[in-house]
């Protein structure tokens, strides 16, 4: 390569840039699912913590919200929630269990699907929250369902263990 080619950023510079971009993409590919899992888990986990007054003891505030405040908005009409105490308990449980599983990267796709379902129900209860909250939550959940938990997860470790075990049998 001539000095003119080197000064203009010849093939060596292109190869170095390509290698750097490939390395960056590889690191981002490892980190992205972890960050998606954490970003989706945190708002649900924080909400779940507010629903409990101790182990399996639903807070009075959570019961009040589900009985008196939360309403379903469907096709321009407003409806009371059916079985509000059961829904409060189920919601509070799901908001602790699914985010914990997401952080660990365990049953990631199923946990993301559960939070996507919760997001859909929340949309029916708080329809004005779509652009600021529900759309990003839905996008993160769908991305996790599509790409999976990533390498930094228990799902990945368990799959690798089972594949090694099966290969040795």
Q: What is the pLDDT of residues 147-164, one digit of tens each?
A: 999 999 999 999 999 999
Alpha-carbon distance of 84 to 87, in angstroms, equals: 5
Q: What is the pLDDT of residues 58-109, one digit of tens each?
A: 999 999 999 999 999 999 999 999 999 999 999 999 999 999 999 999 999 9
Question: Which one, of 106, 99, 123, lies nearest residue 48 by Cα?
Answer: 99
What's the chain's average pLDDT?
92
The token pair that represents 30 in the structure block: 């490892």
pTM of the model: 0.85
Residue 131 pLDDT > 80, yes or no? yes
């Amino acid at each position: 390569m001539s000095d003119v080619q080197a000064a203009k950023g010849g093939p060596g510079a292109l190869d170095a840039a390509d290698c750097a971009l490939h390395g960056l993409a590889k690191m981002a590919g490892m980190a992205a699912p972890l960050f998606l899992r954490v970003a989706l888990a945190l708002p649900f986990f924080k909400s779940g913590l507010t629903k409990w007054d101790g182990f399996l003891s639903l807070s009075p505030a959570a019961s009040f919200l589900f009985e008196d405040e939360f309403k379903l908005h469907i096709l321009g009409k407003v409806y009371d929630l059916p079985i509000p105490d059961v829904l409060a308990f189920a919601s509070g449980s799901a908001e602790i269990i699914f985010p914990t599983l997401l952080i660990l990267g365990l049953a990631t796709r199923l946990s993301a699907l559960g939070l996507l379902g919760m997001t859909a129900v929340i949309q029916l209860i708080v329809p004005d929250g779509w652009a600021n909250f529900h759309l990003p939550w839905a996008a993160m959940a769908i991305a996790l369902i599509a790409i999976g938990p990533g390498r930094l997860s228990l799902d990945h470790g368990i799959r690798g263990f089972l594949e090694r075990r099966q290969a040795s049998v």
